[in-house]
Amino acid sequence: MPEPAAPIGVFDSGVGGLSVLAEVARLLPGESLLYVADCGHIPYGEKTPAFIRQRCRIVAEFFRAQGAKAMVLACNTATVAAVADLREQYPEWPLVGMEPAVKPAAAATRSGVVGVLATTGTLQSAKFAALLDRFANDVRVITQPCPGLVELIEAGDLDSPALRQLLRGYVEPLLAAGCDTLILGCTHYPFLKPLLAEMVPASVAIIDTGAAVARQLKRLLAERGLLAQGPAQPAQFWTSASPEHLRNILPLLWNKSDSVQSFGR
């Protein structure tokens, strides 16, 4: 039986999940956080579901070996591929996944047109199709896969001319089609919000699910009497690529310089 003081494991294919980690740290400042970035295998958006499931199992086992009391799958692409498998594998372990915010977007749109920016893997999944079936019957949803964005963000690029051009090419067709609500369906994309705010009219709502995931995590922990009272240990980071690279870009994306170790699994 885990203790409330046990850490929480947060996982993404790379640095995108740091946008979720920030929401978890904001809502639950007493929690000790572990973060694994599978940077050696990005982008998950172009990998097979079987490959992603295997990586998720390896990381889940690692978190459990570290004594983690819960896991956040801070990656939409990993969630569609692996959350069911992990839940079957660890039925008692609190596990929170991500999904594109189709439900709130469908409720919020006034034009009736919603745009979704996400990875190819997420947009092609049966889980995403089911989400549309369930919540988007009365609105038009235009999906836009965004190959290339994740790689640039992983390199620490949040506003180069090349990135701007790529992003504009993805967003403009959605605006031209009348979208007034834009879903960020990949945890890397919230880091582009300042740039998006320059590119879209102020009347367009930009929605992501990091804060909702943090609230869901809090609910699951509270139900089990597992909320930590603090003080939290400093967050610990692991990466399957270069620790030095992650160390260099962490201040840009997380604003703290914490320990970074190699994830050699």
Reply yes or no on whether 75 is catalytic: yes
At 175, which helix (H) or strand (E)? Answer: helix 161-176
Shortest CA distance to 121 belongs to which of 193, 53, 22? 53
Question: Of 172, 169, 181, 188, which Cα lies nearest the Cα of 206?
Answer: 181
Number of residues in contact with ligand DGL, rule: CB under 6 A? 17
The reply to whether 249 sits near ligand DGL by the rule CB under 6 A is: no
* Active-site choice (56, 75, 146, 179): 75
Q: Among residue numbers 91 through 120, which ones bind ligand DGL (CB under 6 A)?
A: 119
| Residue of 77, 109, 143, 144 interacting with ligand DGL (CB under 6 A) | 77
Residue 150 found at the interface with ligand DGL (CB under 6 A): yes
Interaction pattern, residues 44-73, with ligand DGL; x per rule: CB under 6 A: xx----------------------------
How far apart (Å, rounded) are the C-alpha atoms in residues 26 and 204? 26
Q: Which of 76, 143, 209, 239 binds ligand DGL (CB under 6 A)?
A: 76
Q: Which of 7, 8, 13, 238 binds ligand DGL (CB under 6 A)?
A: 13
Residue 200 CA to residue 204 CA, distance in Å, equals: 7
Q: 91 Cβ partners below 8 Å, 6+ apart?
A: none
Q: Exposed e or buried b for every residue in 14-45, given b needs 16+ CB within 10 A?
A: bbbbbbbbbbbbeebeebbbbbbbbbeebbbb
Q: Is residue 19 part of the contact set for ligand DGL (CB under 6 A)? A: no
Annotation marks residue 56 as catalytic: no
Which residue, 13 or 143, is less far from ligand DGL as judged by CB?
13
What are the catalytic residues? 75, 186
Q: Point out which residues bind ligand DGL (CB under 6 A).
A: 12-14, 16, 42-45, 75-77, 119, 122, 150, 186-188
